[in-house]
Amino acid sequence: MRRFFFLSMILLGFALSANSQESAFQESEFFNSELEKSLWEKGQEDVFQLFRAVGFEQAGSTNAWESLVDELDQIAAKNDDKVKLLRQVFQKTHQRLLKKYEIHSSFNAMLNEGKYDCVSGSAALGLLLDRYNFPFEIIETDYHVFVITSLDGKKIILESTLPVGGMISAPSEVEAYLDSYKVEKFAQLKNPSQRLAGPQIDYSDNSIFRKVSLVELAGLQYYNDAIVHFNSQSFRKAVTQLSKAYLLYPSDRIDGLKELSFDLAYKSYGYDLKK
């Protein structure tokens, strides 16, 4: 119910924005197709659909997801051991969905081709942890996203980009992993055009370590998609994707890249995208 209310407020915010004279985008420009709009609206009740809305061109069959969920449902029904169930969630997700790490991969590419990155991989794990009532946190850092769960008061890292060794439970290893992302005092926010890509750890000047919800993670997927357009100098498309990202997750890094897109569009091509 809380998720439904939150997404309803997001869509209400968009409706108010679209009616504002200051809004740079009308609804016809905000959504790239009726399919994306439909998936966004379905996301009011099911955040899974929000992840499918990004890269909607690849939104094909969900058979792989449904098959995984059916298999895990059967395991969960027969198994009261939460540790064993968690291990099955992690292992089966890699076996069925997370087959090939590829930077910039969307959630749909994961469902249809087995290609994934840290955002889509963490989204899959987060959705499943939510389904089986595991407590969990999704952590956003400067260049990476990962998942933390806990059992019997002990933290467990779920690193989606590591199919072998990615379920980290030894306390010393968990502590070392988290320390590697510890925010440095006086660290500056990294370049907003950098993607949330993968497991590579930059040990210098970490500036972001914060919890995000599944809805906000969908916003980060839009952010990553916007960077693809930004780097190809398709600034209008980048701003459109960043507008959606910001509605789902109003963060400085998203707003920063949007402002940079406005600036470069004007300086490079004379386009005032704010009009």
Structural domain boundaries of the chain?
A: 61-212
What CATH code would you report for 61-212? 3.10.620
| pLDDT beyond 50 at 18 | no
Which residues share a beta bridge with 158? 147, 167
Label residue 187 by pLDDT band (50, 70, 90).
low
Tens-place pLDDT, residues 196-233: 544 454 545 688 999 999 999 999 999 999 999 999 99
Query: N- to C-terminal Cα distance for the chain?
Result: 37
Give the contacts of 157 (CB within 8 A, at least 6 positions apart): 146, 147, 148, 166, 167, 168, 169, 173, 174, 177, 178
Burial of 89 (0-12, 13-18, 19+ CB in 10 A): buried
d(CA 175, CA 33): 45
What is the three-state SS of 172-215?
HHHHHHHHCCCCCCCCCCCCCCCCCCCCCCCCCCCCCEEEECHH
What's the chain's length in residues?
Answer: 275
d(CA 166, CA 262): 39
Average pLDDT of span 88-110: 94
| pLDDT beyond 80 at 191 | no
Measured at the alpha carbon of residue 237, what is the angle toward residues 267 and 211, in degrees to the nearest 5?
105
Q: Are 86 and 167 in contact (CB under 8 A)?
A: yes
Q: Sign of the C-alpha dihedral, residues 3, 76, 62, 55?
A: positive
Q: What confidence score (pLDDT) does residue 55 get? A: 82
Structure tokens at 114: 């087995």
Q: What confidence score (pLDDT) does residue 252 get? A: 92
Average pLDDT of span 54-58: 79
3-class DSSP assignment, residue 221: helix
DSSP type of residue 250: -
Q: What confidence score (pLDDT) does residue 132 get? A: 97
Parallel, antiparallel or unpaired: strands 167-168 and 209-212? unpaired
Q: Are 54 and 110 in contact (CB under 8 A)?
A: no
Q: What confidence score (pLDDT) does residue 204 get? A: 59
Label residue 60 by pLDDT band (50, 70, 90).
confident
Q: Are 48 and 68 in contact (CB under 8 A)?
A: no
- When the pLDDT of each residue in the chain is averaged and rounded to a whole number, the result is 85
Structure tokens at 169: 């439970």
Greater model confidence, 144 or 191: 144
